[in-house]
Chains A and B, each alone.
Chain A
Amino acid sequence: MPNSHCLTHLGFEPKNDDLKVEPNIDQLTKDFTIFVDTEPLLDPSANVIFNSMLPFLSSNQNRLVVSERSVNYIQDHADDAENRNNEATRNAISLLKKMDGHGVLVVAKEPNGPLIGDRYCTESLYKEKFVQFQMAQNMCLITQRETLAHQILKNSRNNAIQRGVKRIDTYYLSGNKLNNWIPKLLQRSTNTEQRFRNDDILGKISKDYKIIVDTCSLALTKFDDDNVTIGDSFFRNTLLPALKETGNRLIVPGRVKLELDKHVNSENPALSSAAQKAIDTLTEYAKSGLLAVGREEDEIVGVNESFADPVFLRLAIRFQSDSNICIITQDTSLARVLLDNRDQSSCKEYLVLFVTQNCKLALWESKLSKAPKEGFTNSSKTGNHSVPAREGGSALPPAKPDKAREFPRPAAGPPPTRPAGASASTRPAGFVQRNTQRRGADGGRPGRFDQPATQGNSKTVNNNANNNASDNARQTSNEPFKLVSVVNPANNTMLEASAPDVGAVLHGAKSGAFTLTEFVAEGGEGAIYLTSLPNVVCKTYFKEQLTGARKEKLDLMLSRNIAISGVCWPQELVFDGNGNFIGYLMPKAEGRKLRSVLHKKLMANYFPGWKRETLTQLAITILKTIDRLHKLNIFIGDINPENILVVNEKRVFVVDCDSFQVEGFPCPVGTDTFTSPDRQGQNFTKFLRSREDELFAVTTLLFMILFPGKAPYSAQGGSEISENIKNRTFPYVRDNDSKPPDGPWQFIWSHLPRQLKEDFAAVFARGERIPIEDLTKHLNWSLKDIQSGKQTNEVFPDKPWQREGSTVTVYCELCPPEKAKTEISIKEFERLEERGENFRCKSCRTLKKVVKLDTTREVSCESQISPQCKKVFSISTERLDKMRREGKGCWCKPCLDEQMTIWEQERRPRRSSYGYGNSHRHQAKAGCFVATATYQSEVAPEVLFLRKFRDLILRKTRLGRGFVRNYYAYSPYLAGVIYRFPFLRTPARCILNSVIGLLKKAYKI
């Protein structure tokens, strides 16, 4: 039946009238408003046809409508000497003039002033007009463009009768007469289908078609099983040999390549592996020289690099009149669009194909015509087509009942040794005991567990999936774990087994026997080995770690089918040769520890070229992974840069999953840095972390990614990590007086977007918690800001954020001149001016500080006048060493001042009794009065010598000090005498000279 057959392809149901190829011109000119597009006027047969229409038009008092745009085009191109269709345009002009002369032409002007869009473009114009007037009058359009005709038909014909739409027709010129488009459209589609129905499509396209392939076909998986890839086997085993024969190349748009790369990192393991296989296949093509990868810049311009749809459309439009094209895609909507754009007037073939579940190629036309609506869930004759949703890549794989069959219960392996009393259930006694415990803890929700779980009642079984000892309930599922508030009683039963070594043969519960091939790493609990199984590693516990609780926890973890990409969730238990539990298997992780990102030098070493954008993306990736775990009520607990491996910013692995907190099993380890203030110093084995605890750790981790490696509570004047956290002084906010650490950290903070600053302040200063969704959202905003240049892309900015135009150029007074130039805010500059200081850059200030720290020591006051003082003050190392050598105590300034006043009070009365009241300090300044009078200068070398002699020698001894005191009491009189009688100077000089000579010899000064 052509009707139903063509329904979807044409987009409407053709009526009997429509199948007539030639219209009745009389009727047409009588009942229809006839629009004429540009091309028919330029057609060689235009003269014949329109001239033949003239009499009918005149008699029916109808007119041809030609758009102003068409006239524009024709007029503009008539004068163009280079126009190859010069003749045709001139012809058209004369035709138009002739019709105008007969009064059968209307040039439709657009009333609203200047033309919208292109001066010549008529396509949208007609579409719009036809929609606008479709209820008012019968219309027909004469056009040579298939797509335009098709679309106009579709727009109006769809349920035309019910909607009261008048008749709309389209015609084209061919063979000196008007032809209806509909039969032609029908014929086209059947043609293609007929020709290719039983034909060897493969043989045809491999010869002389441009074969363009889409991601979803390359990575096509089996309808009912994600793990069997069809795309892989078709392209590798079917198409590749065919192309090898013909030498034709497979065209893969650059964006498809990108999309595959993206899928490799997808959370969905099936998708990821399929994409990987596809890439491998493409590599095969490349090896044989049969691959052409489109270049990104030649394709579609735009941000979303992995969205490939427009590329196909563009390639199709571009090449369809040039060569035979075949596009292979599984995407229904893309196929529809591609088919809609097929230009039927071109003589080249244009095929849109898909890969069937039987590894064959098939035409989309036939499939679309069979499936009445968008989602063709009904299986057709061939039955099992599947089209993986394009956007399915980012979503979690749906829970599939088949999966449960694939992952049978862990106990299916060699039977583990079990405590007695668990013979009926596969669960050790401890497990049962724990359930009882939980029942008590969940007492607030009565009824939930009281209901007896029956196997027939699937809902109940589901609810109690983990509590019910029946085997049914142990089936793997994706149901979240329960939130529990009480720690399971520790089951410290030691299990019988001893840690194996490389080369040992162990048994996986599902995989069977395998060998430990290589030692990877060792931790506090056990060791990790590579195995003879692909992409799986084995963790074996040390003998002293093999407790009953450990096995129970793993049993519980294995009760869920958790397939989150980047989480090395335990996959199955492992037993030794005697069937004793010894460890578990998990997916192999790769990458470097996050630690390598959180250190400037290591980052430069292992992740060169990382920018703030990359860091932000990494943070988003990690947060998303953690969020997926949280959705299942799994808490990592020991969030820690050692437990996260980074491959690149979009691919990370969370390892050490057996320490995660699930239900009543706590995460027994942790580090101070990631422990919330309330939990500091608590025993990690004795409490269950709350969501708040976990969010604190997550926010800390986020902080440490954005401030690579710096902990949020590090501050100047800080102390040990745990103390800093307990004190809750977050140094980046202003409401406390702690200062951020030296280095680039404060600059990073100042560049951070406001929203993230607020998040951090809320968590670290006010003790609130921000949900991961919000953090991720704010990170995404930040990412956009960085990409648009609003936020710096530097990981370590070297100056604070400043508003443009609000800065002053200054030079650091300490830096070498070539580095000194920098910019500071006007406010800061004014502050410096006010204080009359020169500018010093941050690193110079820090350097000064470090030098000062190095050259000073802190001592507590050892004053004897106030022994309780003990005030801590800093003193230069030099001075301290000197005082220590001399056996003097270090006194703080206030104590020293106090002592000085006491001394002075003691001294004053004595001095006044000698009638000479000079203070000690004055004395120190004053020289020898006699010598000054003798040499008539205070700075004569002899005077200076005597002064030195007094300070260095006389003052050191008790006798000397007595002499000095007495000397100062009497010498002014002597000096006065010498001033008065200048002749005394010469003998005095002689005496002093000889005394000085003697002293110099004696003391070698």
Chain B
Amino acid sequence: MSYDKIMRLRMEELTENPSARVPVCLALDTSGSMMGSRIQALRAAFQTFIQAVKEDELASISVETAVVTFGGHVKKVQDFVGIERQEVPVLEAAGGTPMGEAIHVCLEILDQAKRVYSEVGVDYYQPWLVLMTDGAATDDISEAVQKCHRLIKNRKLTLFPIVIGDDRGGYDTLSTISPFLTPLRIHETNIAQFFKWLAKSANKQLASNPGDKKSVDLGQKLFQETIWNDVFRGGPGTL
């Protein structure tokens, strides 16, 4: 598709859809260790996610997604689009885990998305960032950690840290990045369930929310309180 055409579609999407948007940025680890069944499961799970969001009428017109992969180098696979136009990205596992840079890129495109919404006059909720990895970062993450902490504490961002598998390094890295939420460990076969939960809670955020909870808190509250019930009946720590 030509650039012009893409831009025209984006413009129509922005001006014709009046709903308030929830920008969800998915940062997916595609390092060498994800090779094989994990990357397969991730692809399948992504499909489930799109399906689940599309099925919910309210979420389907509100959720916009972007995909950033980090495996060897950081790649912006997909800038923000409505779920209707979101496709399952091509994921190829290779290389290291440049998480620090990936977070930079994610925060930048989230910022950019907010700027576009604001300039065009589209209401939005504070963005969600799903950070999914299976290993420790291979680059410097100190600056990324600083930025994330600042945003999360100012309620400008909700971060969902997910560790695939039982890697200790990955868990520790995510723990440093996420100030409030403890990372969620999931087995690769549960990725799809997590994505389903994500679609559902995006919807919950949009529907009536208890008043004392700001939307960002709500996302986090949901994460902590409901994900265990919804995704894993067994409770924390299950693999």
Contact = CB atoms under 8 A, between A and B. Distances in A.
Do A and B interact with each other, yes or no?
yes
Interface of A: 523-524, 593, 595-596, 598-602, 638, 640, 642-643, 668-673, 681-686, 704, 707-711, 714-722, 724, 731, 739-745, 843, 846-847, 849-851, 853-854, 857-858
B130 to A, nearest CB: 20
A717 B19 contact: no
B18 A718 contact: no
Contact of B57 (A593, A851, A854): A593
Contacts of B15: 741-744, 843, 846
Contacts of A685: 210-212
B208 A743 contact: no
CB-CB nearest 8 A-B residue pairs: A741-B121, A743-B15, A709-B18, A684-B211, A683-B212, A669-B208, A710-B18, A716-B121
A600 B119 contact: no
Contact of A707 (B18, B126, B208): B18
B10 interface: yes
B14 interface: yes
B112 interface: yes
Contacts of B119: 716-717, 849, 853
A701 to B, nearest CB: 14
20 contacts: A643-B208, A671-B208, A681-B211, A684-B210, A685-B210, A685-B212, A708-B18, A709-B18, A709-B19, A710-B18, A711-B123, A714-B18, A721-B20, A721-B125, A731-B121, A743-B14, A846-B11, A850-B11, A853-B115, A854-B10
Contact of A670 (B8, B118, B123, B208): B208
Contacts of A854: 7, 10, 116
A683 B7 CA distance: 41
A600 B16 contact: yes
A941 to B, nearest CB: 35
Given A643-B208, A710-B18, 18 more contacts: A524-B204, A669-B211, A670-B211, A683-B210, A683-B211, A684-B212, A709-B18, A716-B121, A717-B119, A742-B15, A743-B15, A743-B16, A743-B121, A745-B121, A846-B120, A853-B119, A858-B112, A858-B115
Instruction: Identify the interface centre among B20, B111, B125, B126: most chain A CB within 10 Å of its CB.
Output: B20
Nearest to B114: A719
B124 interface: yes
A612 B2 CA distance: 36
Classify the secondary structure of B's interface with A. helix
Given A669-B208, A669-B209, A854-B7, A599 B120 contact: no
B91 interface: no
Nearest to A672: B215
Contacts of B124: 720-721
Chain B interface category by residue count? 35 or more
Interface string B115-144: 110111111111000000000000000000
Nearest to A669: B208
Contacts of A523: 207
B16 A849 contact: no
Given A711-B20, A846-B11, A595 B121 contact: no
Contacts of A857: 108, 112
Given A668-B210, A721-B123, A850-B11, A595 B58 contact: yes
Interface of B: 7-8, 10-11, 14-20, 57-58, 61, 108, 111-112, 115-116, 118-126, 204, 207-212, 214-215
B121 A739 contact: yes
A596 B57 contact: yes
Contacts of A846: 11, 15, 120
A606 B112 CA distance: 34
Contacts of A709: 17-19
Contacts of A858: 111-112, 115
A708 B214 CA distance: 26
B115 A715 contact: no
A868 B59 CA distance: 42
A854 B115 CA distance: 10
Given A596-B57, A599-B18, A711-B20, A718 B209 contact: no
Contacts of B116: 850, 853-854
B112 A602 contact: no
A724 B20 CA distance: 12
A642 B208 contact: yes
Contacts of B108: 857
Nearest to A707: B18
Nearest to A637: B208
B120 A850 contact: yes
Instruction: Identify the interface centre among B58, B119, B123: most chain A CB within 10 Å of its CB.
Output: B123
Contacts of A720: 123-126
Contacts of B8: 847
A743 to B, nearest CB: 3
Contacts of A598: 18
Nearest to A680: B211
B118 A847 contact: no
Contacts of B18: 598-600, 704, 707-711, 714, 743
A894 to B, nearest CB: 22
Nearest to A715: B121
A720 B19 CA distance: 12
A602 B16 contact: no
Contacts of B120: 716, 741-743, 846, 849-850
Nearest to A738: B121
A668 B211 CA distance: 8
B115 A717 contact: no
A682 B211 CA distance: 6
B107 to A, nearest CB: 12
Contacts of A601: 16-17, 61
Nearest to A640: B208
A638 B210 CA distance: 11
B58 A717 contact: no
A685 B215 CA distance: 16
Contact of B19 (A599, A722, A741): A599
A846 B14 CA distance: 10
A683 B218 CA distance: 13
A523 B200 CA distance: 11
Contacts of A686: 211-212
Contacts of A643: 208
B118 A718 contact: yes
B35 to A, nearest CB: 30
A799 to B, nearest CB: 15
B122 A741 contact: yes
B96 to A, nearest CB: 20
B11 A847 contact: yes
Contacts of B14: 742-743, 850
A719 B20 contact: no
A959 B61 CA distance: 61
Instruction: Identify the interface centre among A598, A722, A743: most chain B CB within 10 Å of its CB.
Output: A743
Contacts of A714: 18, 121-123
A853 B116 CA distance: 7
Contacts of B204: 524
Contact of B61 (A599, A710, A716, A718): A599
B57 A600 contact: no
Contacts of A745: 121
A724 B123 contact: yes
B118 A716 contact: yes
B123 A669 contact: no
Contacts of B207: 523, 640, 642, 671
Contacts of A642: 58, 207-208
A739 B118 CA distance: 11
Nearest to A681: B214
A842 to B, nearest CB: 9
Contacts of A707: 18
Nearest to B208: A669
Contacts of B125: 720-721
Nearest to A671: B208
Instruction: Identify the interface centre among B11, B20, B125: most chain A CB within 10 Å of its CB.
Output: B11
Contacts of A682: 211-212
A720 B155 CA distance: 11
